[in-house]
Each structure stands twice: as structure tokens, then as C-alpha cells.
Amino acid sequence: MAPHLPSASLPSDFEWGFATASYQIEGAVAKDGRGKSIWDNFCHLEPSRTKGANGDVACDHYHRFEEDFDLLSKYGAKAYRLSLSWSRIIPLGGRSDPINEQGVAFYNRLIDALLARGIVPWITLYHWDLPQGIHDRYGGWLDVEESQLDFERYAKVCYERFGDRVKHWITLNEPWIVSIFGYSTGGNAPGRSSTNPQSTEGDSATEPWIVGKALIMSHARAVALYNKEFKSLQRGKIGISLNGDYYEPWDSQDEHDHQAAERRMEFHIGWFANPICLAEDYPECMRSQLGDRLPKLTDADLLTLRDAEVDFYGMNYYTSQFARHCHTPAPSEDYKGNVDELQENKQGLSVGEPSGVHWLRSTPALFRKHLTRIYRKYKKPIYITENGCPCPGEDRMTVEEAVNDIYRIRYFQDHINAVALSRDEDGSDIRGYFAWSLMDNLEWSDGYGVRFGVTFTDYDTLERTPKKSALLLRDIIESHMVSQSDLAGVKESRI
């Protein structure tokens, strides 16, 4: 008889930890040879596009990383996902530009400090902070050919310098956000848009799709290079982190809304996942709607993508929405696939409990559906590389109030249980979970108001204070963990 176990379980080797990104926490933007990124310029535009905030100091992680890694140890983290600043390693960014040895030395110190604590480093090569040097030189991601060659060389430098100790690589973080918010809505760096009155440059009808192809092929070159020249010796794994909400039909009785929900997910996820995970063209609904605006993936491109097989699918997930077919689509929002996004359905029911930021509601049941859909469609092991939330009203709380983050604890409990259910009952291969974020930090164009961290950051003193969720996440995850032999017993008992 199989032992009594939780109704939904995780394996004992389930990898978990916390995540951050370089520009959001490091600071020291002009120290030790670092070059500017597009976010350095964007955060200093006048009038401000980032609520007056910038990453000049941020959380000063550059000088305080030992303290921050001590927190990881205190929280019991097994792994830590960090990103590298491309312009700290190659200040001007290009494939013929010099390497900044001081930047390499900084990341060597980070990697060694994590390993000394028994924490596994997961490295993201690109988390939105393109070197300003290559943006100025040829438009950055707007030049499909040049950008992929420069990214390939940057990736190679990282594999050569860090790959003896780093065994988990993520090429790009959220290329959808890079493409759409950077080159369609203009809300993120470099702020290009023809529909945003604050933007002075850009073409929202064409540029995001060009950037999307540049990102896909840059990823492919970096993965193909790793697979060919580094994997057999370094024995690492490589993948990508894709964002994307799950969508339910606004009117469950309307077939148009069912189609709209699927189409929205194709525009959100399939745009990148179909070429990257399946080595095939973009979803047909995108090609049908966008026509020649969507750059062709040539036979040579698809061959490179076949050589760039990823080891895992990194999933960044925060919330879900309802999708309603849009009968009169706005040209400025055609990146949504001619879909209206709503947080209440036709009956007025909310998709989930509101959080501390307007776009995020807690939707664990739909998270399970999302995990299961992605695994069945792309058949890659999944690591949740970001998941988290701000608590309602947290941006106005004192530290004494903020540390009692009951909403976040419940969010983690419910979403980790959804992971276990998708594994146990739906057969999804999900191998790890990274909470966003280790500490409150610069939330890009939202500035320092929204707090996603499990550690409270006092932006005046830079003092860190653990919130209750930081100390409970290990217990939440370990409450689901069982040994491999127990898992086998559970599976046998269910046959």
C-alpha cells in the first residue's frame, strides 16, 4: 500500500529559489568600466518615463551582494537566477569591441560567492538592458543581422568565462516585452512608438515584428553555439524565459471568444515558442493578420533553429485574463491579435483576487491550465523562472506593515500547489520554481513604488528586511516534496 502523501506532490530534487535582474538591483552604473545601456538613457529622459526613478544606485547590489546572498542562505534557497549586464562585460556591446575585465571579475565574484554557499547560479544573458553603444551604432534589435552576431559573441564570452561553474543558462528574458513595450507601446526602453505621444521615434506597425525576429535568431545563434562548442565539455543546460498570460473566453458560450483566447496566447507565446521550441514558422493567425509586416523565417533561419534545441522552457507567469473577440480592432493594439483583454467575464466575475498592481490578479487554477497547455504543446521540461506579486496597498506600507505579507504567502501557496497539480494530475514535467523577486527593486517604468520582493528594501538607507514570505517559501515547497521512491509508489497506486 502506498504511503499517505499530499494530494499534489513535488520531487525531492525540485529546484527552487529567487530571481533578480541586473539593472533592477545592481546600481554602480558608471563604476569599473561599465558602459551605458538603453535603460540608463531611458530612465533619465525628461519628462520622466519611469516616475522619476532610475537604476543609478538601485539596491546597490554591486557593493552589497554578500549581504544579499546571506539572505538567500537564510531563506534556504537552492538556486538563484540572476542576469548579467551586457554593457558591464562589453561596454560598447559589439563583437569587435573590447571586453571589460573588471565587469567579468565582478560576475566571477558573484558566481563564486553563490557556489561557496551551496547555491546554484542560473544565468540570464539578457534581461532587457541592451548596450546603448549598439543601439546608437545600428539601431540595436532593429538590425536583425548585426544584432544576432553581436549577441552571439557576447554569449560566447560568457560561456568561456563562466561556463566552468555555470550549468544553467537562459538566453533572453521575455522577448515579447522587449518587442512590444520597447517598440510598439513605447513604455519601456528604448521607448520607440508611433502611437505613444511621449515617443519621438518609431513605427509601431512594423518595428516590434522586426525586433521579434532579431531576438529569435539571436537566441538561436547563442543556443546553437552552446550546443556545438560548449555543452559536451561544460555539461550545462540552456533555454529561454517566455512570458505570457493564460486566457479564458470572456463569453464561454461564444465561439468567437474561444477563438480569441487561443489567438491571444498565440500572439503572446506562440510568436516565440513555435520557432524556438518547434523550429517552425510563427502561428498561422499571426501570419494571416500581419501579412508582410511579419518578417519571414527563411529556410536558413529554420535550419539554425533546428540546431538550437533548448533543454527547457522557462516560464514567467503572473496572472490570467479573459479574452473577447474585438469586432472593431484598434490599429495601435493589433499586437494583441484583435482581442480585448478583460479582468471580469461577461457575468461580471473577476478572473482572480486583486493584488497591489492593477494588471495582476491571483489566478492559480488558470496557472495550472497554463502549465499543462504549454507542456503538452511544446513538450519541454518547464522551469517557472518568475512568479510573484505585490500585496494590496504594499506601496504605501511601512516596513513593519509590509513584512506581514499574508497575500503574497497565499499567492505562493496557491501557485506552487498549481505546479504540483499540473505535475501530478496532468503529467506536466515541471522541474523548478523561482520567486520574483529576492528584494524590492526598480520595477522598470513603474519605478520604485510597486514592491514584488520577499525582502523589504528601504530605498533611503538601503537596509534589507525579510518579509514573512521569504522565510516560509521553503516550507511551502517542502510540504509538497516526496522522495522518488514515494513518487513511484503514488504512481503505482493510481494505476
Q: How far is CA 127 from CA 37, 219, 325, 444, 476, in A?
A: 11, 13, 32, 11, 28
The DSSP code sequence of 48-113 is -SSTT--SSSTT-HHHHHHHHHHHHHHHT-SEEEEE--HHHHSTT--TTSPP-HHHHHHHHHHHHH
Burial class (CB in 10 A: 0-12, 13-18, 19+), 57: middle
- Locate 62 and state its grid cell: 554591486
The dihedral built from the CA positions of residue 437, 72, 130 and 46, taken in this order, carries a sign that is positive
Vertex 397 angle, CA 392 and 440, to 5° = 80
Backbone angles phi, psi at 82, to 5 degrees: -130, 160
Residue 341 is among the residues annotated as catalytic for this protein:
no
Residue 152 is among the residues annotated as catalytic for this protein:
no
Residue 277, C-beta contacts closer than 8 angstroms, at least 6 positions apart: 310, 313, 378, 379, 380
Residue identified by cell 565539455 is 233
The C-alpha atoms of residue 392 and residue 357 are separated, in whole angstroms, by: 7
**Catalytic: which of 207, 386, 394, 443?**
386
Residue identified by cell 493589433 is 334
The C-alpha atoms of residue 216 and residue 212 are separated, in whole angstroms, by: 6
Asked if 72 contacts 10 with a C-beta cutoff of 8 angstroms, the reply is no
Asked if 118 contacts 51 with a C-beta cutoff of 8 angstroms, the reply is no
- Locate 146 and state its grid cell: 548585426
The C-alpha atoms of residue 287 and residue 266 are separated, in whole angstroms, by: 11
**Catalytic: which of 174, 262, 266, 333?**
174
Asked if 62 contacts 20 with a C-beta cutoff of 8 angstroms, the reply is no
Catalytic annotation, residues: 174, 386
